[in-house]
Structure 1
Amino acid sequence: MKAILISLIRNNKDRWKGLDRLEELEELAKSAEFEVFEKFIQIREKPDPAYLIGKGKIFELKKICDYYKIPVIIFDNDLTPIQKRNIEKATNKKIIDRTELIIEIFRKRARTSEAKIQVEIAYWQYQLTHLVGLSKEISLSRLAGVPGTRGPGEQLLENEKRRIKERIRHLQSKLKDIERTKEIQKESRREFIKISLVGYTNVGKSTIMNLLTKSNVYVDDKLFATLDATTRNLKINGIPYKVVLSDTVGFIRDLPPNLIASFKATLSVIEDADLILHVVDISHPNVNEHIETVEKILSEMGLEEKPKIMVFNKMDLIIDKNQIYRFREKFSDSVFISAKLKIGIEKLLEKIKELILRQFLEFEIITENYNLYSKIRKFALIEEEEILDGKIRIKGIIHKRFYSYVDNNNS
């Protein structure tokens, strides 16, 4: 299906940003299986409250769409309910804003029942927001012909809002059942070291996961190819624990808050992680903005202080090699790799081991509790061990996740 793309910017200074955003919007549109016919930028200091880009520009778009038989107009900006309604009436075309487009991509990508439910919740919340917005911005009571009473149009609106809220509650209940099952699975991994891959969408996280874990996770060169959290075992020599690596949905600028909220259970693998691998496409022209976007989302999740490795992927595609030195200076814990050419993977594993070992704490304990002794032998790296008057003195290091095992209260 053909579509025209349009982005509103405030002044000429933002033109390059607008062009960058349109390039990304084109990728999003193609991911949603639209054929992009043309892209436009509209410069306007203040958005038109009724038409966003102005009524004149809307009618220009209508002429183009009518002449070339283009049924869809996609906006990079989010539209208010009244703007969307007005533009649809003026053009007689399907109007899609950025949030709706991203939700549509998620809907097409969702494979598991959990992902499908999460996307549907986000979809209905988006629809509900627009219904609420319409009810606030326009009065439909005039349709009844009696001032001060609720007209049939407004009654229909209220009924639709009630139906959507009931659907959302039903879906949230189903999602909680799935989350309870996942909590049981999470408990079974309580004694694992957990690492999570994060990054802007389509930076190669799944490919890196396959290389590190020698697995066969689904990989595709598309935005949001991965929606579900995927977890695999990761072998790190010299680490006396089981280590698991998780991959989850990629981030993007202006990721709709409803989607973040709906995917809270999926994103919880990041919150539970002992170490984050922030994967970056170093070859992308907007690499700095991508880093800022991901870091902003991590900060909003309260995870900015979590141990992290910056993994700069696709180093084989960069021309200016000084870029590597600049990023290495800026990020001390960074690794530069090419997942496609399998370059730098061993260095990444070494860096992962280094940061895990940084999280080890020293301990010394004297105990006669054999169960505790067995647990310490399982989870600690023992440096000294001796028997004193029937008790065992153990000295060593243990990961902070398991430090409670050697707390003096357990002795």
Structure 2
Amino acid sequence: MKTTSHMVEKEIDDRAVLVSLITQKQKKNELLAEYSLQELVKLAETAGVQVLETMTQNKEVKDTKWFIGKGKVEELKLLLEELGGNTAIFDQELSGAQVRNLEAALDVKIIDRTQLILDIFAQRAKTREGIIQVELAQLSYLLPRLSGQGKNLSRLGGGIGTRGPGESKLETDRRHIRGRIDELKAQLEEVVRHRTLHRERRKKSGVFQVALVGYTNAGKSTLLKQLTQADVYIEDQLFATLDPTSRTMVLPSGKEIVITDTVGFIQNLPHDLVASFRATLEEANEADLILHVVDSSTEMRNEQMRVVGEVLEQLGAHQKEQITVFNKIDLISREDRDLLSAEGEFMKVSAYAPEDLDRLRVTIEDKLMGDSKEFRIPADKGDVIALMYRIGEVLETDVDGEDMVFKVRVNTEDYVKLAYLLVDYDQSTGKAEFEENEGESN
């Protein structure tokens, strides 16, 4: 019992000075550099680190050996000794050589922004898919840096930088790590295969999918909970939820859809992480509609929207039907609300205002359901009629001899699904002959 207590104590014993380098290029947007450092503080606190102090250096270009200047390294060493720090966290990505040099000079754990984000993900991953993706991202990041990770990996007292695969003797040899990466990729491919099958079943059943995307801590999980009355974990911290969460939502017409909360984006999201989490993030790519949730209460909302747009473009989802949802309007003044705008369709809501949620549900339905069309279907085609009820909103029904006549609100894509079942469709009469389905019914 004593051992466990001691381990827990060491696990939260990271005391860090945070360091940011502002180059000539970054100096053009000092507000962005300051925001990035503030975000690093939040990331460190989310990882369970005690932040002692922050330090910045203005420099033309980064130092290839030390990243920051040699004089700044000496200043950092004195500050760490004075404050009793045992970790230095850098706001930018470091090379293996820079980690090695800084570690030798400072004799503390050296962590960069990418490794810090990966560490948070290691803490938050709960599902098999999330755990595989985190380990794959960590190994892909560490492989080219092994020579600079000697002391970090030998500090097995716990804390940031040593969770997940960091505790499993990564310093063995590159061949073993490459083998592990191949093994994880194979496991992930199997997970992706299962996910694809689920998506195909959803599409066949005519269930619409809506994806919530946005910057971390924009309020996506809160919105999901309020829209679906589901039990969803909510916390005011970065990456409070990592694994995608899907819940059923009922539209005003009574039709059910699936709404999914995806992992939050962040400035300088590590490339290894984007690559490893592609399967999860592709929920956005497969969605019929994307709700881009924006924290309207932050001054950096335009920058955050840009970051989300870039990640969606990387995924090939930027041309999907999209609504920008400015959330948290209850936290800003009416004057600031009037200034909120975005390209394309947008809404201003508070996740805690029932009338705003009702408006959002109506807007989602209008986007998904499309225009009304008339279908004349033989009454004995029960499978087609059932599919029409699932993918469209049946507004009117009538009987004409042996046929059923339906007036249905359905979007273009799902209209094509219905038309796919038709062999001959007479546009003038609306009379349709249906192809007999063999095997599994749609």
TM range (shorter): 0.7 to 0.9
Kept in 1: contact 2:209–2:287 (CA 8 A): yes
Match of 1:372 among 358, 381, 384: 384
For structure 1, which segment, 398-407 or 287-296, has the greater mean C-alpha deviation from structure 2 after superposition? Answer: 398-407
For residues 87 and 132 of structure 1, the distance between their equivalents in structure 2, rounded to whole angstroms, comes to: 13
Cα deviation code 1:352-381 (max 9, x no counterpart): 1221233x5746556586243443355443
CA separation of 1:286 and 1:378: change in aligned 2, threshold 3 A:
closer
- Cα separation, partners in 2 of 1:378 and 1:79, compared to 1, 3 Å: closer
The residue correspondences of 1:47-126 to structure 2 (distance < 5 A) are 47-126=62-141
Selected match of 2:340 from 324, 327, 331: 327
Q: Which deviates more, 44-53 or 339-348?
A: 339-348
Structure 1 CA distance for aligned equivalents of residues 250 and 406 of structure 2: 26
Q: 1:259 aligns with which of 273, 278, 291?
A: 273
Q: Does 1:279 align with 2:290?
A: no
Matched residue count: 384
Matched residue, 1:346: 358
d(CA) in 1 for partners of 2:72 and 2:194? 52
Deviation of 1:108 (Å): 1.0
The separation in 2 between residues aligned to 1:22 and 1:283, in whole angstroms, is: 19
C-alpha displacement of 1:391: 5.5
User: Which residue identity is paired with 2:88?
Assistant: I
> Within 2, Cα distance between the matches of 1:127 and 1:20?
27
Aligned position for 1:154: none
Q: Percent of aligned positions with the same letter in both sequences? A: 36
Question: Match of 2:227, as an amino acid?
Answer: L
Matched letter for residue 345 of structure 2: D
Q: Distance in 2 between matches of 1:364 and 1:213?
A: 32
Q: Do the aligned residues in 2 keep the contact of 1:363 with 1:398 (CA within 8 Å)?
A: no
CA contact (8 A) 1:117 1:175 kept: yes
Asked if 2 retains the 8 angstrom alpha-carbon contact of 1:276 and 1:309, the reply is yes
**Structure 1 residues 347, 393: CA separation in 2 closer, same or farther (over 3 Å shift)?**
closer
CA distance in 2, matches of 1:342, 1:223: 26
Alignment partners' CA distance in 2, 1:362 and 1:300: 36
Task: Find the aligned partners of 2:221 and 2:310 in 1 and give their Cα distance.
Answer: 22
Tell me the distance in 2 between the aligned counterparts of 1:167 and 1:33.
28
Report if the CA contact (8 A) 2:124-2:240 is conserved. yes
1:50: how far off?
A: 0.9
Q: Aligned to 1:302, which of 316, 331, 345? A: 316
CA shift for structure 1 position 250: 0.3
Q: Structure 1 counterpart of 2:312, which letter? A: L
Query: Partners of 1:279 and 1:189 in 2: how far apart?
Result: 24
Tell me how far apart the structure 1 counterparts of residues 42 and 111 of structure 2 sit (CA, whole Å).
Answer: 15
Partners of 2:148 and 2:104 in 1: CA distance = 17
Change (3 A) 1:89 1:363: farther
Give the aligned partner of residue 239 of structure 2: 224
CA contact (8 A) 1:199 1:279 kept: yes
Confirm whether residue 37 of structure 1 aligns to residue 19 of structure 2: no
Residue 210 of structure 1: CA displacement?
Answer: 0.6
C-alpha distance after superposition, 1:157-195 (max 9, x if no partner):
996111111111222233333333333433332220100
The 3 A distance-change label for structure 1 pair 395 and 342 is closer
Q: 2:22 maps to what in 1?
A: 9
1:317 corresponds to which residue?
331
Separation of aligned partners in 1, 2:406 and 2:233? 45
Please give the secondary structure, in 1, of the residue aligned with 2:340: helix
Does the 8 Å CA contact 2:43/2:116 hold for their aligned counterparts?
yes
After TM superposition, the structure 1 stretch with the greater mean CA deviation from structure 2, 261-270 or 169-178, is 169-178
* Aligned residue identity for 2:231: N
Deviates more, 1:368-377 or 1:119-128: 368-377
Cα 1:194–1:397 change in 2 (3 A) is same
Contact 1:367 1:373 in 2 (8 A): no
The worse-fitting range, judged by mean Cα deviation, of 334-343 and 390-399 is 390-399
TM-superposed CA distance for 1:38, in Å, is 0.7
Deviation sequence 1:32-59 (CA, Å, 0-9, x none) = 1111111111101111111111111111
1:246 counterpart = 2:250:
no
Give the conservation status (yes or no) of the 8 Å contact 2:100–2:148.
no
TM-score by length of structure 2 reads 0.80
Mean alpha-carbon deviation: is it higher for 378-387 or for 14-23? 378-387
What letter corresponds to residue 180 of structure 1 in structure 2? R
**Using the alignment, how far apart are the partners of 1:175 and 1:379 within structure 2?**
31
Distance 2:378 2:269 in 1: 52
Give the SS at the match of 2:173: helix
| Aligned counterpart in structure 1 of residue 145 of structure 2, from 110, 121, 130 | 130
Residue 274 of structure 1 aligns to which amino acid in structure 2? Answer: D
**Aligned position for 2:156:** none
Q: How far off is 1:242 after superposition?
A: 2.8
Secondary structure of the equivalent of 2:209?
Answer: strand
Distance 1:48 1:378 in 2: 61
CA distance in 2, matches of 1:112, 1:27: 24
Q: Distance in 1 between matches of 2:234 and 2:410?
A: 36
Partner of 2:263, secondary structure, is: coil
Q: 1:22 to 1:356 in 2, by over 3 A?
A: same
Alignment partner of 1:189: what SS? helix
Offset of 1:131 from its aligned partner? 3.9
Mean Cα deviation higher: 267-276 or 178-187: 178-187
Larger deviation: 74-83 or 60-69? 60-69
Classify 1:342/1:51 alpha carbon distance in 2 versus 1 (closer, same or farther; 3 Å). Answer: farther
**Structure 1: runs of 5 or more not aligned:** 135-156
Aligned to 2:160: none
C-alpha distance in 2 between matches for 1:158 and 1:25: 27
Cα separation, 2, equivalents of 1:94 and 1:210? 39
Q: Report SS of the residue matched to 1:344.
A: helix
The CA distance in 2 between the partners of 1:340 and 1:378, in whole Å, is 30
Q: Are the structure 2 counterparts of residues 310 and 14 from structure 1 closer, same or farther at C-alpha, using a change threshold of 3 Å?
A: closer
1:303 CA drift (Å):
1.4
Per the alignment, residue 402 of structure 1 pairs with: 414
Normalization by structure 1: what TM-score? 0.86
